[in-house]
Amino acid sequence: MSRYRGPRLRLVRRLGDLPGLTRKQAKRNYPPGQHGQNRKKRSEYALRLDEKQKLKFNYGLTERQLLRYVRRARRVKGSTGLVLLQLLEMRLDNTVFRLGMAPTIPSARQLVNHGHITVDGEVVSIPSYGCKPGQVIGVKASEKSRRLVQQNTENPGLLHTPGHLEFDKTKLTGKVNGVVDREWVALQVNELRVIEYYSRQA
State pTM to two decimals.
0.85
Strand partners, 49: none
pLDDT per position as a tens digit, 66-88 = 999 999 999 998 899 999 999 99
List, edge to edge, every strand of the sheet that includes 117-119.
Answer: 122-123, 117-119, 136-139, 173-176, 165-168
The per-residue pLDDT for 66 is 93
CATH code of the region 8-87+185-197: 1.10.1050.10
Is the per-residue pLDDT at 59 higher than 70? yes
Q: How confident is the model at residue 1 (pLDDT cuts 50, 70, 90)?
A: very low
pLDDT in tens, 115-168: 999 999 999 999 999 999 999 999 998 999 999 999 888 877 677 888 899 999
> Could you tell me the sign of the dihedral formed by the alpha carbons of 18, 23, 29, 35, in that order?
negative
- Name which residue leads in pLDDT, 184 or 19: 184
**Terminal CA-CA length for the chain:** 24
- Is CATH 3.10.290.10 what the domain over 91-178 is classified as, yes or no? yes
Give the pLDDT of residue 75.
92
Domain with CATH 1.10.1050.10 in the chain: 8-87+185-197
Residue intervals of the chain classified under CATH 3.10.290.10 are 91-178
Q: What percentage of the chain has pLDDT greater than the value 70? A: 84
Confidence bin at 31 (pLDDT 50/70/90)? low
Q: What is the pLDDT of residue 195?
A: 93
Q: What are phi and psi of 173, to 5 degrees?
A: -130, 145
Summarize the confidence of residues 192-197 as an average pLDDT: 92
